[in-house]
Structure 1
Amino acid sequence: MSATPQAPRRRRRTFLITAVTAGLATAGALAAALPASAGEAATYKPGHHPKPSRYQDVQLLSFNDLHGNLEPPAGSSGRVTEVQADGTTKTIDAGGVEYLATHLRKAREGKKYSVTAAGGDMVGASPLISGLFHDEPAIEALNKLDLDVTSVGNHEFDEGAKELGRLQNGGCHPTAGCYGDTKFKGADFPYLAANVLDEKTGKPILKPYWVWKKNGVKVGFIGVTLEGTPDIVSADGVKGLKFKDEVETINKYAKVLERQGVKSVVALIHEGGFPASTSYNYDCDSPGAGDGISGPIVDIAKNITPKVDALVTGHTHAAYACTINDPSGKPRMVTSAASFGRLYTDTTLTYDRWTGDIARTAVESANHVVTRDVPKAPDMTALISKWNTLAAPIGNRAIGYISGDIGNTGNESPLGDLIADAQLANGKELDPETDLALMNPGGIRAPLTYAAKGAEGDGVVTYAEGFTVQPFANTVNLQDFTGAQIIQVLKEQVSGANAAAPKILQVSAGLTYTLDLTKSGADRVVTDSIRLGGAAIDPAATYRVATNSFLAGGGDGFPTLGQGTNDLVGGDDLAALEKYLLANSSAAAPIAPPAADRITVVTQ
């Protein structure tokens, strides 16, 4: 029996307003003017053409961080947590575009004024069914979902600005060519990149904003990605681009829209926050919830001009529907729908036809689970079947065997250890003097599940599953570092760019240390505890370190990893994992999940 979630609690806020126009002198007059249902038209005498009421509900459906997940995500990546009425929680299987399409289409029924928007990372770091084909399948799916507009995210730049332009405008891939008999048509919706400028021209590489219009109702959308995109994307991906401050950019284009007569504005921001609870229906505005949400989006939201009426966010893969005060002190809705198509957000924006603005007194928003207990959308099933047929000869190949689920969550994860061990083994083949390997957690996109698909056989790891775990086509690189530099790298996990949101590197066998979370900043890494093969790291000695090419360039906030010497560029990191699995597992002797006991974590 499939799980049925309780009805999500909508976030509705009513604020004291003294006047909206000169003709409304008191809050009581406003209340009288606002109908019980703003979507209802006023009643007129027979024979007269009905005129639209002053207030019109506009449905805003939104989601973010799809990452080309067309099929239901496996393992923990395909579940959400729900708070029950008694305070307990349960998990619900969620996601898959066949189900997302059904849910969105059902949500739109009876809504004459409905617009669908997204918060970036629609593509990139995608499973094989989309990633193998440079995410053309994901764009086709989004077209069928009737997506109206999206911001760019950092992963839209994984293959560079030219490839992003191709996804927008269509055409065959420059090296892979066309797939099948038809030319790729590109996205039916605009990608917005207001804060991504061409270094030579100083102008946005794509449209900065877009206006949705229907029967006199106008809502503007401004799209930005996080200013720190160059820190988390390869240098080639952002070559020739400049990323501007999110707040300054949004405030600039809100003024532009206002001069064009557009006073209702939604910002699509590929940057996010961290709610106090991981449950999708956590009420971060409820009494006793504390601040409710933390992270970069809080300061961004507090500084974006009040001209913007709502914020659709992403990047952190979290779920929330919270209010954060704008600079005037007025609460404003800020939402995020987790990731991988597991949730969608349904927000009601009440449009005031007299002022052309959103009456924020009537804004409602809630996240909804993309459950798998609804009929699959036939057009999405056909799309998945088409691309799976093309991918099958590559994706169905067995590359290893596991005895149980190998997860990718926690400060140190079993899958992180496995990948680090695979890269160390690969490094030793390139250079027997290789001492250790480090893997960034953000490069591990999904767990390995024991029974991901019933047709493949329990414990079999296919190439498609491996591709979903490591889709970036990085290389395994070797560099020399001093012991002092290695110590500094470990401290950079919890300081500098990673101080607010630590990125704990996954380490190969033999490297151990203590992470003391009761301390702050770089002190959370206990220097005296760092050991390699049981011996203390010698700050003056030289060590040979294997990392992926992204980390070797100083990515993910690890500048010291960009300072290595004696570079040696190896082969594909997924090929390294495949080789390791084939060498260390078989159907008769599958590999067991690593113990994840290399980092000792102190929490109290």
Structure 2
Amino acid sequence: MTFSPRTLALATALSAALGMLGGCATTPSGPLAEINLVALNDLHGHLEADKFTYAGVGDTSQKTVHAGGIDTLAAALQAWRRDDRELLLVGAGDMIGASPALSAMWADEPTIGALDLLGLTVTSVGNHEFDQGRIELLRQQKGGCASPRPDKACKFDSRYDGAKFHYVAANVIDANSRRPLLPPYRILEAKGVKIAFIGAVLRDTAEVVASAGIAGLQFADEAESVNRLLPELRAQGVGVFVVLLHQGGRTASEFDKQYCNDLEGDLVPVVHRLDPAIRLVISGHSHKGYLCKVGDTLVTQAQMGGHMLSRIKLVVDRKTNALVDVSARNVVMEQGAYPADPRAVTYLAKVRAKGNAELAKPVARIATPAVTRERKGSDESALGNLVADATLFAARPFGAQVAFMNTGGIRANLETGSGNVVSKGQALAVLPFGNTLTVMNLTGAQLRVLLEQQWIGDKVETRGLLQVSEGFSYAYDLRRPAGQRVIEATLNGVPLDDNASYRVAANNFIAEGGDAFPMFAKGSNRAETGVRDIDSLTAYLVRREQDLKPAGQALEQPRIRRVQ
């Protein structure tokens, strides 16, 4: 990823070569500076390597390797920094949140410490950085132990000093002060060149985060928020702009194809509206690996969980302070590919030593080796049903008759160990958010509207249908007009009465209207139970074992039926 001094001196030849690489080079007028970036997105607290299956350009079959883990990332970065001590590691959000138990059990403080060890300099916030609300996000940035999660904060170490890296977000606005909640950008310098890293998160963050934690925050248009900063940055001598945007796209192209032109999704119109001076967007959110061009702008993403890193090269004309070209490649972080970094090995060993004893504690025996969240052509999964049943079980003391669960809140299959016994860590992997349960009243008519809201726009393709608890079932017909697709709905075999009131349970995220289910927010006689979803799940698993009816047995009848 470095040019020789002789090549750097040959400006014209280099410009031509870069034009072939990046597709749009500018003829330099002076000496060139080469700046190396490494980008990471959607780590989600994955401190350890796991299995990763992929196929790159020219691969005839898929490969499965162990990839990721902070020890693997640290080893690669250590090797690359030997070639360039000024290499900059940057991020595109969701570094924390929806994390495995090894991080989640300590409020993701081990992951923040790991990112500091890796030398992360700046990252945009992602929607998951807001999972626990603005107060917790600011604590994680600044430090301290005053947390909405006192059972987790400052339990990994007795003190927490905050992240050394910086969160940036140009489009997250405090409604009272009308000022950004976080710095909108950070200017870093490498090879004598100032580079502005501008952060933004998807403007629909409020739809995918519990509303109570983000009260008083507004999420503005991404492109407008970024573009208005450029005059201010130019006044500070900045001529190179990189956008760290937690919004994603999708493509049929391989993760390492240079450079795809078929990127689709919500990210694309945002990039089209960015100032033409912005030639690089480092993206996240969609958990895809790609290197694509949108107009003259290179857009990258490095999958998720630390399975990949994006290596990006900026070439800057020192005389004009202008970006001559940008190129990138995605590198799979296969375990063992680089000599170990002893600091990271020691750090990971510390985290494991503190966590494994607690996470290995048995919870209960279930009926199968694993209960999966895969829907396999159906609208419901075995694990979705199980979590909905656990929610109903915990909420019955509050009068609940039916419970709903969003598929996006279930982050992993329910795995077991010897004898089909679920451990605490395996249960936490399923429900890492620490949501609490809310119970409310909805009429039969409101429940029908709620079910119809599942097909608003195209969201059902990405979020799936709500998972429903035992005793509740319905049928739908997509050939019918929107708003009239639910053709029957019953509770314990009795059709819903539009005028009757039913007691409904859900996690606090969707209960506040999250995931674009506004009907939940209209529920009356609300009770905030204070019961955490993970506690409801483990209690339910224990009760089922005690009743000699271990959870995970196959259902006799589907709860959701599509009429063909």
- The normalised TM-score by structure 1 is 0.80
Counterpart of 1:386 (choices 336, 339, 350) is 350
* 1:444 paired to 2:410: yes
Q: Any conservation in 1 of the 2:407–2:463 contact (CA below 8 Å)?
A: no
Name the counterpart of 1:121.
Answer: 94
Name the counterpart of 2:140.
Answer: 167
* 1:231 paired to 2:231: no
* 1:562 paired to 2:521: yes
Counterpart of 1:399 (choices 348, 363, 366) is 363
Q: Any conservation in 2 of the 1:423–1:547 contact (CA below 8 Å)?
A: yes
Structure 2 counterpart of 1:352, one-letter code = D
Counterpart of 2:274 (choices 287, 304, 317) is 304
Name the counterpart of 1:428.
Answer: 396
Q: Any conservation in 1 of the 2:122–2:168 contact (CA below 8 Å)?
A: yes
Name the counterpart of 2:179.
Answer: 203
Flag the 1:553–1:261 CA change in 2: closer, same or farther, 3 A: same
Structure 2 counterpart of 1:584, one-letter code = R
CA shift for structure 1 position 491 = 2.0
CA shift for structure 1 position 221 = 0.4
SS at match of 1:359: strand
Distance 1:244 1:574 in 2: 33
Distance 1:322 1:184 in 2: 39
CA shift for structure 1 position 119 = 0.6
* 1:68 paired to 2:22: no
CA shift for structure 1 position 145 = 0.7
Name the counterpart of 1:477.
Answer: 438
Flag the 1:589–1:189 CA change in 2: closer, same or farther, 3 A: same
* 1:155 paired to 2:115: no
CA shift for structure 1 position 88 = 4.0
Flag the 1:381–1:33 CA change in 2: closer, same or farther, 3 A: closer
Structure 1 counterpart of 2:170, one-letter code = A
SS at match of 1:485: helix
Flag the 1:593–1:339 CA change in 2: closer, same or farther, 3 A: farther
* 1:217 paired to 2:193: yes
Counterpart of 1:462 (choices 414, 423, 435) is 423
Distance 2:156 2:486 in 1: 56
* 1:316 paired to 2:286: yes
Q: Any conservation in 1 of the 2:134–2:213 contact (CA below 8 Å)?
A: yes
Distance 1:301 1:500 in 2: 23
Distance 1:520 1:306 in 2: 45
* 1:293 paired to 2:269: no
Distance 2:217 2:309 in 1: 31
Q: Which runs of 5+ in 1 are unaligned?
A: 1-9, 11-28, 39-51, 287-291, 326-330, 452-456
Q: Any conservation in 2 of the 1:152–1:192 contact (CA below 8 Å)?
A: yes
CA shift for structure 1 position 252 = 1.0
SS at match of 1:493: helix
Name the counterpart of 1:354.
Answer: 319
SS at match of 2:180: coil
Structure 2 counterpart of 1:389, one-letter code = A
CA shift for structure 1 position 479 = 1.7
Q: Which runs of 5+ in 2 are unaligned?
A: 2-9, 20-28
CA shift for structure 1 position 532 = 4.0
Structure 2 counterpart of 1:57, one-letter code = E
Name the counterpart of 1:4.
Answer: none
Name the counterpart of 1:54.
Answer: 31
Q: Any conservation in 2 of the 1:435–1:544 contact (CA below 8 Å)?
A: yes
Flag the 1:60–1:382 CA change in 2: closer, same or farther, 3 A: same
Q: Any conservation in 2 of the 1:234–1:555 contact (CA below 8 Å)?
A: yes
CA shift for structure 1 position 405 = 2.6
* 1:254 paired to 2:254: no
SS at match of 1:491: helix
Counterpart of 1:343 (choices 285, 308, 317) is 308
Q: Any conservation in 1 of the 2:174–2:217 contact (CA below 8 Å)?
A: yes
Deviations 1:338-360 (A, max 9, x none): 22212211122222223222224
- After superposition, the CA RMSD in angstroms is 3.2
Name the counterpart of 2:25.
Answer: none
CA shift for structure 1 position 563 = 0.8
CA shift for structure 1 position 464 = 1.8
Q: Any conservation in 1 of the 2:53–2:62 contact (CA below 8 Å)?
A: no
Structure 2 counterpart of 1:549, one-letter code = N
Name the counterpart of 2:163.
Answer: 187
Name the counterpart of 1:507.
Answer: 468
Name the counterpart of 1:490.
Answer: 451
Distance 1:214 1:282 in 2: 28
Distance 2:76 2:516 in 1: 38
CA shift for structure 1 position 101 = 1.7
Distance 2:561 2:174 in 1: 45
Flag the 1:169–1:285 CA change in 2: closer, same or farther, 3 A: same
SS at match of 1:227: coil
Counterpart of 2:298 (choices 320, 323, 333) is 333
SS at match of 2:370: coil
Q: Any conservation in 2 of the 1:459–1:590 contact (CA below 8 Å)?
A: no
Structure 2 counterpart of 1:285, one-letter code = C
Distance 2:343 2:480 in 1: 51
Q: How many residues align?
A: 537
SS at match of 1:65: coil
Flag the 1:554–1:413 CA change in 2: closer, same or farther, 3 A: same
* 1:106 paired to 2:79: yes
Distance 1:497 1:198 in 2: 30
Distance 1:353 1:500 in 2: 47
- The normalised TM-score by structure 2 is 0.86
Deviations 1:97-121 (A, max 9, x none): 1212223333444135521110111
Structure 2 counterpart of 1:480, one-letter code = N
Structure 2 counterpart of 1:368, one-letter code = V
Counterpart of 2:106 (choices 133, 141, 147) is 133
Flag the 1:396–1:304 CA change in 2: closer, same or farther, 3 A: same
Counterpart of 2:327 (choices 352, 364, 368) is 364
Flag the 1:31–1:466 CA change in 2: closer, same or farther, 3 A: same
Distance 1:296 1:577 in 2: 34
Q: Any conservation in 1 of the 2:106–2:156 contact (CA below 8 Å)?
A: no
Distance 1:515 1:90 in 2: 40
Counterpart of 2:508 (choices 524, 532, 549) is 549
Counterpart of 1:34 (choices 6, 9, 15) is 15
Flag the 1:436–1:586 CA change in 2: closer, same or farther, 3 A: same
* 1:269 paired to 2:245: yes
SS at match of 2:310: strand
Flag the 1:202–1:599 CA change in 2: closer, same or farther, 3 A: same
Deviations 1:524-554 (A, max 9, x none): x831154444554443333322211221111
Flag the 1:543–1:118 CA change in 2: closer, same or farther, 3 A: same
Q: Any conservation in 2 of the 1:445–1:469 contact (CA below 8 Å)?
A: yes
Name the counterpart of 2:26.
Answer: none
Flag the 1:53–1:415 CA change in 2: closer, same or farther, 3 A: farther
Distance 1:118 1:65 in 2: 8
